[in-house]
Amino acid sequence: MPHIAVVPGSFDPITIGHYDIIKRALPLFDEVIIAIGTNSQKKYLFSLEDRLSMIEKVFADEPKVKTDTYKGLTVNYCKSIGAKYLLRGIRSVGDFEYERTISQLNNSLSPELETVFFICQPQYSHVSSTIVREIMLGKADASKLLPPGLEGLTV
């Protein structure tokens, strides 16, 4: 049975932090699905289409990386596609406590679903989509926080 990992998120936009975690984890899995959870009540800076096409551009040369979108609970999406793993990065103590809660919840809702964690490299530990958006909205250059191929992205 192939090892499928889901990387759930908003990716508004994908950052060099996301990119680095996925590249490092890729050899462990047969397929990594970057899955954008859609939530009609949240507001995003980039449209769903733009967010998907950015990810596809960044991973154009990685045949094991796929993209998808889903509604509702992440555990239900994973079940529906037969994925047994979630993949998540941790930057900080705050992240760790959040991820512990969510992985414990997911495991209680779907006991066969495991979450695999990588710790963020130190040079990217300040990177988040939120900070990328603030820099862009402040009309400054966010290139250093973006994955290869997206440098120069603006709003």
* Signed CA dihedral, 55, 20, 81, 72: sign only: negative
Near a second copy by CB under 8 A: residue from 64, 84, 133, 149: 84
Note whether 81 and 5 are within 8 A (CB): no
Instruction: Please count the CA atoms within 13 angstroms of the CA of 92 that sit on its side-chain side.
Output: 9
Q: In the bound complex, what is the minimum distance in angstroms from residue 86's beta carbon to a second copy?
A: 11
d(C-alpha 43, C-alpha 33), whole Å: 23
Near a second copy by CB under 8 A: residue from 53, 96, 151, 155: 96
Determine whether 129 is an active site residue: yes
Does 143 participate in binding a second copy (rule CB under 8 A)? no
Does 72 participate in binding a second copy (rule CB under 8 A)? yes
Tokens in use for 21? 């975690």
Tokens in use for 143? 């290139």
Does 97 participate in binding a second copy (rule CB under 8 A)? yes
Determine whether 91 is an active site residue: yes
Q: Residues in the site for a second copy, rule: CB under 8 A?
A: 3, 24-25, 27-28, 72-73, 75-76, 84-85, 90, 92-94, 96-97, 99-105, 107-109, 114-119, 121-123, 125-126, 128, 131, 134-135, 138-140, 144
**Residues annotated catalytic, as ranges:** 18, 42, 91, 129
